[in-house]
Chains A and B, each alone.
Chain A
Amino acid sequence: MSKANGVKRIALIASKGTLDMAYPPLILASTAISMDWEAGIFFTFYGLDIIKRAKLDHLKVPSLANPAMPVPVPNIIGALPGMTAMATMMMKNWIKKANVATIPDLLDICREGDVRLIGCQMTMDLMGVRKEELIDGIEVGGAATFLEYASEADVSLFI
C-alpha cells in the first residue's frame, strides 16, 4: 500500500455522463469506503453531469452505437427521436426490477462516507457550469488536485 498510515485508497476519474457509465465510479467508491478504504472521484467533462443537481437523476442511456443493449437496436432505428428516452426507460425498469441502487442513492452513500468528490474546474469553465449547479459537498479542483490525491492511491481507474 502506498500510504504511510496503511489505509488503502482508490482514486477514480468519472469522465462519462451516461446512466450506465455513472454506476462504476459510484459503486467502486461506495464499496471502497465500506471496506475502510479512502475513496475519491474526479468528475471531468461529461462526468460532471453525475454531480449536477438538475442532471443526476436524469442521466440517459444512449440508443445509438450501443450494440451491447440487451435488446439490440439497429443504429438507423436508434437514431430516431425518442429512442434515447426509450433505452433509458428500459434500463431504469431493469434497475428497479433488479433492485439496484439508484444514482442519487449511491451519491448519498458516497457523501455520507466522506468520499472525496472533486469537480473539474476546467470543465466547469468550458461548459459554463457554476458551483451552485453542483450538489453539496463537492470540492472544485484541477488535474494537479487529482494527481496529488492519486499519487498515494493503491488503485486508480479512469472511467
Chain B
Amino acid sequence: MRIQTSPIRPTLILLICLLASSFTGVRTASADGGPGGSDLHIAQTLGDRELTVVVRRVQGVPGPLRVDVVTHTGTPPGRLTLRAIPVGATARVEDLPPAGSTVSQGELVLGATAGYHGATLRVDRPGPWELVVDDGEQAARIPFIVPAPVVSPPEFTAYAGFTAAGALLLGALGAAVWSRRRWTALVLAGGMVAAAAVGSTGALLSSVTPLPPQPGRELDPTMDNVVDPYAWTVPAVEYSRPPVNVRLRHGRTDAGRPVDLDLLLSDGATGRPVDDLLVHDAALIHLVVVSPSGRLWHLHPIRVGAGHYRVRLTPAEKGRHAVTAELARRGGGVQLVRSPTGFDVDAGPPGTGAAPTPPGLGERDVNGTRVTLGATGLAAGTPTTVTARIGDTADLQPWLGMQGHLIVVGPLPDSDPVGDAAERAPVWAHAHSMAVTARGMADLPDETVAAFGPEVSFTFTFPMPGRYRVWVQAERDYTVLTVPALLTVEPEEGGTP
C-alpha cells in the first residue's frame, strides 16, 4: 500500500473548499408560478337581484374556497345555494369525484340590508371549476380556475443543477480525503463545476423565460394544462378567437312585466356556441339596453349553459329596445356585439310609460342625490372630458372595478324613438373613470370602500358631431346611480379632412 504524499491533494482540497465557499448563500430562483391568481369579482344579474360575486383566491388544494356575495339596494332578501363543481377534462386517473359532480355545497342567506354575505366551500383539485349560484329559480354557472403551483423548466434545471452540485461537492471532498486515486476527486469536482454551471444557467434563464400560454386566459383550461402549462406550449400560435354573433330569445314582453331575455352566442367562424368568455371589467357580459324614451339598463347576464346567457329586466314602455353586449373571448380582445333586432315590447298596464327627456349639462337631482354634469370642448374629433360631481363628499364605491362608467350612444336624430335610433347609431361606447392608485389597478379596493369621488371624469373623443345620449353611472351607498344627459357635439374645428 502506497501513501500519497504529493502536494496535489492539499491543493485539491483547498480548491474544492474555495468552490464550496463560493456557493454559500446562493439562492435558488424564485418561483414564477405558485398558487397565483387573484380574487375574481363578477357582477351577476340573477333574477331580480343585481349581485357581485367574489370568488376568493384559493391558496392550495384540497382547501377552502371562500365566496362572498355583495348585494345592492333593492335586492330582495332570500336564500342562495352555492355549489362548486370541477369541470376540467384530465388524462390523470385519480381517486377524486368525477368531473361534473358537486364536490361542495353551501347556503347563503341574503338579508334585507345591502352588503357582504359569505360562505365557505371546498375544492379538491386544481383546474377549471364552476361555481353555481342558485336562487331556486335560476342558476348562474360561473367559470373560474383553481391554480396549481408551477415550476418552470429553467427553475427545475436550477434546482436540479444546484442539488447535483451539492452532492458532487460532498463526493469530491470525500474522495479527496479518503480515495487513493487522484482522478476520482478531480472527476467529481469537475462534475460539480458542470452541475453548478447548469444550475446557474437555469437560475439566470428562469427570470427571462417567457410564461407559457395561460390556461383560462389563452387556452381552454383542463386540469392537466393548469398543473403543467409548459407541456401545452406551441410556438408562434395566435390565441385570439373569431368574433361573436348574438341572437335574442324571449317570451311575451309587456311593459311593466318582467321578462327573461336569453342571449345565444355563436362563433363567427364555426357557428358553434361560444363558451369561452373571460371576466372583463368584473363581468362576463355587460349588456346595455336602451328603451324608446332613452331609459338605460346596464346588466350582467348569468351564464346558464354553453353559449347561453340570461338576464331579467322589466321594460317600462312600449316599443323597440336596442341591445348591445360587451364581452371578451379567451385569447384576448374585448368586442361589442350589437343585436341587429333588439326586442319589441307591447303596451302594458296603466302606469307604465316613457322617461322624460334628460337635460344637458348642469345640475340635476338623481334619486335624492345632487349631480352636476360638465364637459370641456364638446367638439368632434377632439378629446372631450365629461365630469360628473355626484353628491358633495368622497363616498362613491367602485362598481365593476371602476369609480364611474359613461355610456355614449349617438348621434341620434330628433325625430325617431331613441331605441330605434340607438340600434342604428354609428357610435356606441363605454368609457371608464379610473381612480388614481399607488400601484395601478391591483390596488383599487373593492366595493365596500366608499372613498372615491365626488367627481368622476371621463375623456372620450366623439368621432362625429350631433346629438348624443350619455349616461353616467356610479355606485353610492350600494346603489347604482344612472345619470342620463343629452349632449350636442359641435363639428370639428376646421372641418373633417
* Mutual binders A and B: no
